Amino acid sequence: MSGVWSGRCLTRKFVRQAYILANSRILGPAQLQRSPAVYAALRSSHSSLYQKDRKTLCSAKDVLKSSDSSYSQSSSHKPSSPRSNDDGTASSGVDQDSESQKKDLRLTGLLAALAALFAGGVITWYLTQKTDDGDAKSAADEQRKRKLSAGPATTPASSKDLPKHVPYLIVGGGTAAFSAFRAIKSNDATAKVLMISNEFRKPYMRPPLSKELWYTPNPSEETNKDYRFKQWTGSERSLFFEPDEFFVAPEKLEESVNGGIAVAQGFAVKKVDAQKRIVTLEDGYQIEYDSCLIATGCAPKNLAVFHDAPPSIREKVMVYRTPDDFDRLRKLASEKRSITIVGNGFIGSELACSLAHYAKENGGGKVYQVFQEDSNMSRVLPDYLSRWTKTKMEAQGVCVIPNASIQSATRDASNLKLELNNGTTLVSDVVVVCVGCSPNTELAGPSRLEVDGSLGGFVVNAELEARRNLYVAGDASCFYDPLLGRRRVEHHDHSVVSGRLAGENMTGAKKPYQHQSMFWSDLGPEIGYEGIGLVDSSLPTVGVFALPSDAADKLPKPKEGGDSKGKKNVEVVTTNGVASDSDKTANYGKGVVFYMKDDKIVGVLLWNLFNRIGLARTIINQNKKYDDLNEVAKLFEIHA
């Protein structure tokens, strides 16, 4: 903008000079030495011109001519006495000369003004062209700074643009919420659904954030706006359930003839009045509903050692749950930074493997995994399988540090120094905390809703109702399982199915939730597994694996069996989570693990076996005792 302003100033200067040039007599150095009488006569002449016509301009040439003729007169003449006729009127020759002078003065002055304007315009254009790119860049930088300081913008800009009443209201914007919308729309073709999300994105799925997205090539390392990734089947899709065009603008939801779903992004709900069927937002705006679903999900936990740390340390620590977290960590990994993962669960182990793979493919930095337990996935996998998984992860490039916790953290100019309880000092560029999640139940108190004291989550009945016409689904729901008792599950499949059932019940279905949800995980190229039911390593387990004969012979106390093809299986039995097998050299390539309670199968883990979840669900639902689990294992065709 400084270039444009300079051009304007120059233009004004040119016009001002032209104006002065046309309206003043330019006197040379000799004229300044004239006697006071002669100078006074010239000033009087100027005054007479302005009095006759203020718009009449006098050219510099005419001024000089007039000045010269006056200066050359004899000193005996009286300059103050003009020539006149006998009757006292001015001479006609003088009138003609004066009129001619005025015409010349008008034309010359006009040309001078036009020339000044033209010159100023050319200079302004030149300076503007020269600074356009710089000004545009400065404006973009300024806009970017303002956006960062103000934070992401809500959609719509104000809660006042939201409807005052909607038939279907969903609090939350994740998988369960979107699954509920699909079910509502299937049963009510013109349904109008308003989703209120505290995130600034449309609904998306979370599992690929720690898995597939890291294995999808992105040579330019630019931000993948659509977060497209290749599935293990080879097909490609987006992280988002639907593109932006699929959704209705919240301001237009009421007038939409065919209904649809609108997402209010960046808004938070502070209270649900189930009796009056009113939801109150953080800013006090209220929305009435006919039927409402709470699908607020859960929030990642942090460690006290980081939560209470100074800002300089906290800026080097992050949790991992959103696409923004993925973008930040991907950037750090591409810069070859050393990364420490804290936690041995699903997200921690998957992310450690994914980062190690990324580092290997792109020459990245070191990847550490620190946790208090003995080995990876120890709360899910039997101890022998957990130890074997840890060995495989180390082979992939993860530096696993078990039986350790972070006691303190300090920082130098660029790195964090982590003091572990085993005396080790770990230097890392960034720490990613993956130690589980807590259900988002802040609504419970103001809304007078019940939360389970041990499991967390909103307590719901068999139809997933917390109150009449108020449902809860997904990670935040604590439901009653007819076979396994009260549970709270944090898996994608549970969010999909519970959200779908809640959506159906919001349209009047009144169905009970009886689904046994499944989960899956991928830990590099050699480990992939699926589980269903109550998969808890503290329960007694029986694992049946298809092993090579030499590996089977190494196991000290296995119960050997065979299938119809004569291939060897090995059965590994655990009691209270401790296995009879302690051989770390065993190769658990493929198999099935049964989790037992009261001599019944309550959970099934399929180790490198896929597309058999339906069979596992059937076995759990049969709820009966089996005499020989080796025979049950044959149903899964572990040698196929």
One-character DSSP codes across 534-573:
---TTS-EEEEEE--HHHHHH-SS-EEEE-TT--EEEEEE
Give me the helix-helix angle, 60-71 and 92-150, nearest 10°: 140
The one-letter code for the residue type at 485 is: G
What is the model's pLDDT at position 525? Answer: 80
What is the model's pLDDT at position 587? Answer: 77
Class level of CATH domain 526-553+586-639: alpha beta
How large is the average pLDDT for residues 278-306? 97
Measure the CA–CA gap between 512 and 502, rounded to whole angstroms: 9
- Asked if residues 560 and 568 have their Cβ atoms less than 8 Å apart, the reply is yes
Where are the domains positioned within the chain? 159-207+241-297+440-507, 301-437, 526-553+586-639
pLDDT higher than threshold 50 for residue 285: yes
How large is the average pLDDT for residues 336-346? 97
Lowest mean pLDDT among 367-371, 398-402, 627-631: 627-631
Measure the CA–CA gap between 77 and 70, rounded to whole angstroms: 10
Residue with the two structure tokens 């006609």: 92
pLDDT higher than threshold 80 for residue 100: no
- Asked if residues 264 and 174 have their Cβ atoms less than 8 Å apart, the reply is no
Measure the CA–CA gap between 394 and 580, rounded to whole angstroms: 24
Measure the CA–CA gap between 124 and 104, rounded to whole angstroms: 30
Whole-number Cα distances in Å, 433 to 176, 301, 333, 417: 25, 8, 16, 15
Measure the CA–CA gap between 360 and 395, rounded to whole angstroms: 12
CATH superfamily, domain 159-207+241-297+440-507, is FAD/NAD(P)-binding domain (3.50.50.60)
- Give per-residue pLDDT as tens, 317-337: 999 999 999 999 999 999 999
Using DSSP's 3-state secondary structure scheme, residue 40 falls into helix
pLDDT > 90: percent of the chain: 63
* CA 624 to mean position of chain CA atoms: 48
Using DSSP's 3-state secondary structure scheme, residue 309 falls into coil
What is the model's pLDDT at position 233? Answer: 77
Whole-number Cα distances in Å, 283 to 150, 270, 465: 17, 9, 27
The one-letter code for the residue type at 299 is: A
Measure the CA–CA gap between 458 and 514, rounded to whole angstroms: 18
- Give per-residue pLDDT as tens, 444-470: 999 999 999 999 999 999 999 999 999
Query: What is the overall mean pLDDT for the chain?
Result: 80
Topology alike, domains 301-437 and 526-553+586-639: no
- Asked if residues 384 and 556 have their Cβ atoms less than 8 Å apart, the reply is no
Per CATH, is 301-437 categorized as 3.50.50.60? yes
Measure the CA–CA gap between 502 and 460, rounded to whole angstroms: 11
How large is the average pLDDT for residues 589-593? 92
How large is the average pLDDT for residues 262-284? 97
What is the model's pLDDT at position 526? Answer: 84
- Asked if residues 588 and 606 have their Cβ atoms less than 8 Å apart, the reply is no
pLDDT higher than threshold 80 for residue 165: yes
Query: pLDDT band at 235, cuts 50/70/90?
Result: confident
